[in-house]
Amino acid sequence: MGKELRFLIGIVVVCGCVLVANADYMLYKDPSKPIGRRIKDLMGRMSLEEKIGQMVQIERQVSSFEVMKKYYIGSVLSGGGSVPKENASAQDWVDMVNDFQKGSLATRLGIPMIYGIDAVHGQNNVYKATIFPHNVGLGATRDPQLVRRIGAATALEVRATGIQYVFAPCIAVCRDPRWGRCYESYSEDPEIVRAMTEIIPGLQGEIPPNSLGVPFVAGKEKVAACAKHYVGDGGTIKGINENNTLIDWHGLLSIHMAGYYNSVIKGVATVMVSYSSLNGVKMHAHQQMITGFLKKTLRFRGFVISDYMGIDKITPTMHGNYTYSILHSINAGIDMVMVPNNYTEFIDGLTFLVKNNFVPMSRIDDAVKRILRVKFVMGLFENPLADYSMANYLGSKEHRELAREAVRKSLVLLKNGANADEPVLPLPKKTSRILVAGTHADNIGNQNGGWTITWQGVPGNNCTVGTTILSAIRNTVDPKTEVAFKENPDVEYVKSNEFSHAIVVVGETTYAEGYGDSLNLTIPEPGPTILTNVCAYVKCVVVLITGRPVVIQPYLPQIDALVAAWLPGTEGQGVADVLFGDFGFSGKLPRTWFKTVDQLPMNVGDPHYDPLFPFGFGLETEGIN
């Protein structure tokens, strides 16, 4: 009897040990297991508090190790201009991101957070990063493979700063250039926008065979991408930011939805919802479009994220109650909410709604599964912390050469002399004296435009490192050619000096959405005065630095050659490469260039189409390379 008892006790002890061992084994941490099983295992361990925490994205300014740990925060972001410190290095960024990540890893289940940033034309918040042309310029290249290479370079520079998630690409189809985000749109043509979704495999990596529609991020040198802003953001009335888009179902699918089909097929990890309304319904509360169409019809399996304080925009048009905004945005299908500051109010509000059955638990589980799926796919559980090993990618020579190539290919030649037999461009490198004038000739901030270092952009030459167009001209001409620079020359100066020709570089001041909405689309002073003072007296090449077509018709007779350079970024050398003939002009207009703003909106195919320069226009020249 004693032996039997001891044997039974032994079984209990052994079984107890086995049970304890199984309890300690966390399947979700085992990378050899299928992602579906890992998600199910982790979800089964999570409390409501932990699940809601995963649905929250907060600003870095209110984040800390303690906040991440206490509230189980799923994600952190840097808004435009939100940086660890002025001119922060890659190492500074890595240290900050890792500190937040360590807070997440210190939680009961150790679920890593994901850090997001608006890397919309390079890692543009970061000092010394390579800044590529904005999307409107890339649309002019008609080169999806170039855009894919830019995506890959951007991913490396983002990862160099310890960040794993970018709020890009913007796949808006801008139908009215009065919109302040128009430069973030590749084109008015949905087919060009669709083609440029090739940036997604550049950012995330090539999706494996038989995985269409499943989120995919290929390792530590790639980032999660975000197709934005779903849907119709480029079609608002008069191009007013956050306004209403009035459109029928066929128009919505054929124009504004075009890029989303391809983005989902290419495995985009996330989709961001638009501030705008669709036929009077705020997109952040549009259940039919988010859950019904995006998730069910298109079978998108990544997570849906709000825009910055996006759900707050629901309230003013409805009941003036933040809880109401939480209710309708979450039930509409938004999975992660960019709060970004009042996160406790959001957490308390959503917890109340779930506990009182206003938001079903199934909706919370759907959101958290999607967020976890992206984190598992990215390998965040295996590699949550960054190191300094990729720091040299930031602003690397290779990436700057790529940006320079993109600038060359983005330039659109709109006029080249009075006739084809007397072209002005390319310019001779060897001549007596060149005048360079204009507010944008020696201004790296104006050259970069908005969403560079800060949200609205920073004029001047102290914002970041790059090559201005003036410097590029001086680098390119013969050493014996004198380059005289005067930003705003008066008529007497122009007339009293013997210039062989002049290069005038003018354009828009820096802006982003809201502040950039413009109903007149004119070049601000002193741009027009400079054009008049110079072009009336010297053979004149005008280079426009703008995010969209602007009013130029009144000045066109005085201008000998006209170049649309868009917002070229840090590598102004690409402009000089083409002006002086090392490379030829090849860019084509991604947008219709109007005669007067009274014609707007006007897009290719419209019955009232009467442009100054039609969509697709662009003169070509031969280069020596």
Task: Please compute the mean of the pLDDT values over residues 342-356 and round it to a whole number.
Answer: 97
* From 442, 513, 560, 577, the catalytic residue: 513
Give me the pLDDT at residue 625, please. 81
Give me the pLDDT at residue 420, please. 84
Q: Are 576 and 469 in contact (CB under 8 A)?
A: yes
pLDDT per position as a tens digit, 47-66: 999 999 999 999 999 999 99
Could you tell me which residue, 71 or 7, shows the higher pLDDT? 71
Domains for the chain: give ranges and CATH numbers: 19-381 (3.20.20.300), 397-599 (3.40.50.1700)
- Measured in whole angstroms, how far is the alpha carbon of residue 542 from the centre of its chain? 28
The DSSP letter of residue 613 is B
**Is 442 an annotated catalytic residue?**
no
Closest CA to 220 of 94, 365, 77, 355: 94
Closest CA to 152 of 119, 127, 185: 119
317-321, 412-416, 508-512 — which is least confidently predicted?
317-321
Per cent of the chain over pLDDT 90 is 93
Task: Please compute the mean of the pLDDT values over residues 393-407 and round it to a whole number.
Answer: 98
**Is 478 an annotated catalytic residue?**
no
pLDDT per position as a tens digit, 190-219: 999 999 999 999 999 999 988 877 899 999
Q: Can the peptide bond before residue 169 be classed as cis, meaning omega within 30 degrees of 0? A: yes
Give me the pLDDT at residue 316, please. 66
Record the tokens describing residue 490, joined without a space. 């008066």
Is pLDDT above 80 for 7? no
Give me the pLDDT at residue 22, please. 52
Distances (CA, A) of 22 to 14, 45, 82, 403: 12, 14, 44, 53
Q: Are 157 and 393 in contact (CB under 8 A)?
A: yes
pLDDT per position as a tens digit, 270-289: 999 999 999 999 999 999 99
Q: Are 40 and 26 in contact (CB under 8 A)?
A: no
Is pLDDT above 50 for 597? yes
Q: pLDDT band at residue 320, thresholds of 50, 70 and 90?
A: low
* From 50, 184, 307, 312, the catalytic residue: 307
SS (H, E, C) 428-480: CCCCCEEEEECCCCCCHHHHHCCCECECCCCCCCCCCCCECHHHHHHHHCCCC
